[in-house]
Amino acid sequence: MHIEEIEATGLYGFFGTRRLGRFERLDLPWEERRALRDALRLPFALFDSALLGRLLDDWGALEVEVKEDGFGRSVRFVGAVGLESLVAAGSGGLVRVRVRIRLDPPQFATLRQEAVRDTRLVDALAGGPTCELAVGVLLGPGTLRFALRSCPVGGAPFAVTGPDRPSWLSAFLTGLGGRLAADPAGAAEWGLAARSWSPERQDRHAAATAALARSPASVSGVHPLPEEPGLRLGERILPLRFAAPEVRSAFGWVGTVHLHRPDVVVAAGSAATSTWEGWWAAELDAAEAAIEQVILLGGSGDA
């Protein structure tokens, strides 16, 4: 799965439509980077509670309470001072985002199976293996309200509310959770993989550790400890949280690719510089790779 196009209104720093390829390194002003990163996360956060939590953390929200209502979310929180500065003047706090997604073969095959029971999908899928997510987000003091506005498949519209909503739509949209990652994996995720009894998780951990040893991360002496990785320094083992920022960043993004294994990665900061560009391209093209799209949000002066 990858994102072919994004359109947004109501965000300060980014509006209009942008087409996206499977590998993008975008040199943008910082305010446009921030707005585009938020715009890419918002549609998927509606179906991914972990992604929504990280988005709210970024915004400084505390004591978060989320209520679900079908394909909608109502969020209450404290903090997030200055959140109104993220929306465009005159928007009334309303942000609209639409993404067009190119479905991967398993997603398309699932919908073809559903077409046996819902013949509307037959004509819809003839329009191509795509779907669109259009969401509306209303930001207010201490509140955030999400709503799915539409979800065409293959260009054909389907109801997202009421009795005409297809029975397959909920499972399909829930399956989008975890497919987009815009944050580095935390030390706890490394610890979880290290103590897992799952052979698949252990294989992922081994692949991630091997990737760390290669350039540009070039981190060796990694010890897989239960809570977080350790780094061997002479006669002592240093917890990852005490390592240099660039080492923690390397662990984070390598962990995202090999432990989390999303379809789409949106990376900013040091991971979006030219130093890492070749690594991302190689990971995208690797035969065993899970990722299908990399979007690097860098600045014009990034090295």
Q: Where are the domains of the chain?
A: 2-178, 187-298
The H or E element spanning position 110 is: helix 105-114
Which residues in the chain come in under a pLDDT of 70? Answer: 287, 299-303
Distance CA 251, CA 186 (A): 8
Query: What are the tens digits of pLDDT across the range 76-130?
Result: 999 888 888 888 888 889 999 999 999 999 999 999 999 988 888 988 888 889 9
Encoded tokens for 15: 């509006």
Q: Give, in words, the CATH class of 2-178.
A: alpha beta
pLDDT given for residue 300 in this prediction = 57
- Contact partners, residue 228, CB within 8 Å, separation at least 6: 187, 188, 190, 191, 239, 240, 241
pLDDT at res. 69: 83
Both tokens of 222, joined, read 């990694």
DSSP 87: B
Sheet holding 222-223, edge to edge: 222-223, 230-233, 236-239
How does strand 94-102 pair with strand 2-11? antiparallel
Asked if 229 and 252 count as a contact pair (C-beta separation under 8 A), the reply is no
- Quick one: how far is CA 39 from the chain centroid? 11
Please provide the DSSP assignment of 266-293 as one string. EEEGGGGSHHHHHHHHHHHH-TT----E
All residues at 6 or more sequence positions from 204 whose CB lies less than 8 Å from its CB, including other chains: 193, 258, 259, 261
- Which sign, positive or negative, has the C-alpha torsion 260, 261, 266, 270? positive
Q: Express as a percent the part of the chain with pLDDT over 70.
A: 98
